[in-house]
Amino acid sequence: MTNRDRILAILDGRTPDRIPWIPRLQIWYEAHRRAGTLPEPYRRWSLRDVERNIFGGTAARDGFVYRTEIRDVEIRPQRIGEMETLTEYVTPVGTVTTRLRSTERLRSQGIQDAEVEFMLKRREDYAVVEYLIEHTHYRPAFEEYERYEREVGEDGYPMVNCGDCPFHFWLRTLVGYDQGYYHLADYANEVEKLLGVIADCWRQRLWRPMLDSPARLLMHGHHLSSQMTPPRLFERYILPYYREMSPLFRARGKVLALHADNDTRAILSHIERAGFGMVECFATHPMVPTTLAEARAAWGDRVIIFGGVPSVILEEPFTDEQFEAHMADLFRTIAPGKAFLLGVADNVMPGAKIERVRRITELVRQRGAFPVE
């Protein structure tokens, strides 16, 4: 079987010949390419060539099923020095601004700029952001997706990023973690109204291109965690949205994925109740308190786990012995291997020992055949 065959088998609830092994190498590759420290012979190779050499596939994370258009809004980006970008969003009801900031280290590793100033700062900003949401449209890009899927070919199967749920989009993208819960306390009416506007607009405009698209594996949810979206808030603000949407996905044969690179120990049951069919980049101990065994006990094979290798064990100070012990425990935990894709949470980072990534490829060949023992 090819990697594409293996992934599709798992999405269908079938068992492939062996567990798929799909690490994300982009950050490692880009950091070393820019620094001129890629090992031979990778210095003359593309990322895709390196992926094929190391694990025989590709992560396939660059597909789109829609493009976003903001209408009747003037967007004014402004560079401030070499490391900052201030963007104004000018509407008939007011203006909001965002600020992105980078560092030399982030630039050298090809990592995106950090958002340090968010749209929502005052009560008055809520009406402006409502206007922005109401004037955002989603144009289907199905032919673009199909071209990308053909380009990926048998090396993998695309996972399409379709944004976040309304509550966490508000919390992480519009107001920021630092101020979000102050706003929820101080501007409760405005927050509730905005969340309703976001949900209504996405229900009418965003769900349709996701549901009608040729893609089967759609990620719509990021970074939900025990700390920032704990059970009480998950039940009130997140669960109703997904309980309405996820049955529509299942009816179309699509798998709804959560980008789960946070501690999820307190919300494992909530993730399943929300209707997620997969948690990808699933972070586990020693990066977070959640263990792979706890997740398997909570979900069985009802929720596909894509992860299992915390990126920190690929680096020092973890020893080769500790790395080997972790991998041995992983294979014991996932046996017999149903509903599991092996990956790195979240990325193979610049400090990773690439020989350990190649060692996992070897272990998958040795121990990854079904049924995993």
The predicted-structure confidence for 201-254, as pLDDT tens digits, reads as follows 999 999 999 999 999 999 999 999 999 999 999 999 999 999 999 999 999 999
Q: Sign (positive/negative) of CA torsion 351, 355, 361, 367?
A: negative
Rounded distance, CA 112 to CA 136, Å? Answer: 23
> Is residue 319 packed enough to be buried (19+ CB in 10 Å), middle (13-18) or exposed (0-12)?
exposed
The predicted-structure confidence for 167-208, as pLDDT tens digits, reads as follows 999 999 999 999 999 999 999 999 999 999 999 999 999 999
Q: Please identify which residue in the block is written with the tokens 């209707």.
A: 275
Q: What pLDDT score does 110 carry?
A: 83
Answer CATH for 3-65+136-162+206-367 from 3.20.20.210, 3.40.50.300, 1.10.10.10, 3.40.50.720 = 3.20.20.210
pLDDT at 112 over 90: no
Q: What pLDDT score does 249 carry?
A: 97
Q: Which amino acid is at 352?
A: A
Compute the mean pLDDT over every residue in the chain, rounded to the nearest whole number: 96
CA distances in angstroms from 105 to 83, 110, 217, listed in the order given: 11, 9, 33
